[in-house]
A = this chain, B = another copy of it.
């Protein structure tokens, strides 16, 4: 499913227009982004939590040219930990 289909499904669920639904989705994603980057995380009970995780600096190897080394600086990466509820809902997913 792409974003347009998502916005349509959300509009139906909230009983609002597609424009409003799109605005609502953007606002939620933006607020999550702000929370991750400034506060270091946000937890939604029954869904999961977004946090940041530290990665120390390391020297990586260019996979296309193994003789070439790349310095990767220390950084934080965004991480999502699904709740047990979300995990159990996904468990029996059938492709």
Contact = CB atoms under 8 A, between A and B. Distances in A.
Q: How many monomers of this protein are in the complex?
A: 2
A87 interface: yes
A73 B13 CA distance: 34
B89 A33 contact: yes
A50 B1 CA distance: 11
A91 interface: yes
A29 B28 CA distance: 9
24 contacts: A1-B35, A1-B41, A1-B42, A6-B42, A9-B34, A10-B27, A10-B31, A13-B27, A13-B31, A24-B28, A25-B44, A33-B89, A36-B86, A36-B89, A36-B93, A48-B80, A50-B80, A52-B90, A52-B93, A75-B92, A76-B92, A78-B82, A79-B80, A80-B80
A86 B9 CA distance: 25
Interface string A65-78: 00000000001111
